[in-house]
């Protein structure tokens, strides 16, 4: 089992899985806006719209492998 310590001192075990993610009002608004933009394009192209959950899962699937951290402990996305 792998464990790690978070900034606040909490210990996280690898097998613990997140079941929910709380978003700020601004994050909710930003996600909703982008989700609606994407669905408009998808529907106009004759496709079925994504649920908000499907949209966020796809973002995570695409982004998580590209997340990096620099020596200053700042996260960034490495885009090819």
pLDDT in tens, 18-73: 788 899 999 999 999 999 999 999 999 999 999 999 999 999 999 999 999 999 99
- Per-residue model confidence (pLDDT) at position 80: 82
Higher pLDDT, 9 or 27: 27
pLDDT-based confidence at 4, cuts 50/70/90? Answer: low
**How much is the pTM?**
0.70
Distances (CA, A) of 17 to 14, 20, 34: 8, 9, 26
Question: Which residue do the tokens 């097998």 mark?
Answer: 15
Please report, for the chain, the start and end positions of each structural domain, with discontinuous segments joined by +: 45-80
Tell me how far apart the alpha carbons of residues 56 and 50 are, in angstroms, rounded to a whole number.
10
Q: Is the dihedral of CA 24, 58, 12, 74 positive or negative?
A: negative
**pLDDT reading at 2 higher than 70:** no
């Amino acid at each position: 089992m792998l464990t790690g310590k978070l900034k606040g001192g909490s210990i996280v075990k690898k097998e613990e899985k997140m079941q929910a993610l709380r978003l700020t009002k601004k994050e909710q608004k930003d996600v909703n806006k982008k989700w609606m933009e994407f669905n408009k394009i998808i529907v106009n192209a004759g496709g079925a719209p994504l649920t908000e959950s499907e949209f966020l899962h796809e973002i995570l699937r695409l982004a998580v492998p590209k997340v990096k951290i620099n020596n200053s402990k700042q996260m960034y996305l490495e885009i090819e």
